[in-house]
Structure 1
């Protein structure tokens, strides 16, 4: 399948303001659908169409969405309203997804979106591991669109409500993860690539889905624990995204789908930082490290493999290959790879194209 060739633009820089209205149309179309399907799998369409628009390909949005549409399910039924007085009892209850989305829709209709995000980010951050980290990724895409400039349109605010509501419904903290013995200041001084290499793999990586495997993670290396300033937190988070993206090229064969999230989850946090109070940047770094390291522990292969891409490609050409392939994880990893912007990151995106089954009608 050839990539559509309608007016491609520079995909090297994300956050392009879509003035066509196509992204808003697609989001309105998607807001009639639930955040999950089959009771546990994530609806990736809002994230993928945002990536297409942000990379200057709004003309491909509806065609891609038509291919993905069979995976969509209707919006779930409400149970009972979430209120400011009882939200804690609804936190982490996936049956309450519609209730949570309605709650955030009301909140975002009454207050500035950055104010709502700043209030709820520290409440939700400890549970960013629920839903296989997809809720925070969806929020990161929504924030990028709102930060791109222009009017905060109703569909874009509603998309943030869906992302936050999904996060609240799937809120799942991690417990029982201890610093590895001897991993104090020495491990803290490692760069992100070495720290990911130091993550021990689970002994049993053949049974159970994400929640079951996460429950078996008992220890992770200390990394960046001494960071106490917002600018250093942003620098380290940028380093982590780069390292996790690079690592996919040589380790993605361990699980071509799930290891994408070792890079896209921390990148979602990084994308949200400009909209958050600086006091939240350090805890955001720590939560992102735990997410990336835990995914690495849960799905990394026993051995790395050398990978040489099949030629030299520009960022735009790599994104066109991801679009032609169509898989939502490939599109999202490529989107992150373009944020990183170097040859090793582009190689990781090309590796994902090779490893992953394409989206087909």
Structure 2
């Protein structure tokens, strides 16, 4: 990929009175941070990653990588029952570093309708053990079936008690609904995500005789969000429409309770007009959280997307630096963090320091009420 000289990104010398911090002291280093390569560090040198995956047996490895890359807190988003229960015990000494979200295993529903009747209590039990909320993965709406073998829609009325209980518990519902546009297009040599689909063939949803349309499933998700205006919805992966800022913009206007995270989508975001991207992040600077989708699996790690392996410190540094470069500089034609997601370069959007601060720290700190966890 081509490399161009980076433009130096100058940071203001200090904060104005109107920029006083409400969520703890933003390190003074941020306002004095003048370097020839600002992409080597996150402004402020502290970040909350709203979207990682950690298991009980990988906590030490996750903390080590986080420490090496300025990640102060990470939300392990989406652990099913046994994995969640193990994590809920193991992470207690690290509650100021890690959080967790519960995730349903829907397969018992195929055997008995009693599963869905007990689902709200299952969520409440997870919250009592420390879950910040529940992650609804992409299988709901695409592959999950009930006891009659019928596909279950996200806005199915039988799921209403789950959303109602989440609202009562004041917890977060994180939606990973559908997948990138390319995963719903024919899987052939013309599909620009061919390499990723080759690694994960079960991620192809192009067979219209087997799967519903991408648009219809997203509409189901949005119906739930609109029906519960007082419930907090974290729509991961930029609400899974990172290919089109205009569509996400419309959703954000229609659904003020929608919060975004940026996990594993900088490749799509960064290939669009950087002026449009910058305007979007500035407009919704209070409703976007930083995320990477960095996975710490028992059998290997994943940097947002790609094959599992154990990464060196240098490889991890490059992964995180690609994120800082996108948000903090106006670099052109540079690598994105997840090359398996597309063989193209991206452009940085060079956000102002105070916008970066919100995305890296303030928004997630408030959204997850991290003060209560000693963060």
Relative to total residues, which structure has the larger helix share, 1 or 2? 1
Whether the TM-score (by the shorter chain) exceeds 0.5 is no
Q: TM-score range by the shorter chain?
A: under 0.3
Q: How does the TM-score come out when normalised to structure 1?
A: 0.28
Q: How does the TM-score come out when normalised to structure 2?
A: 0.27
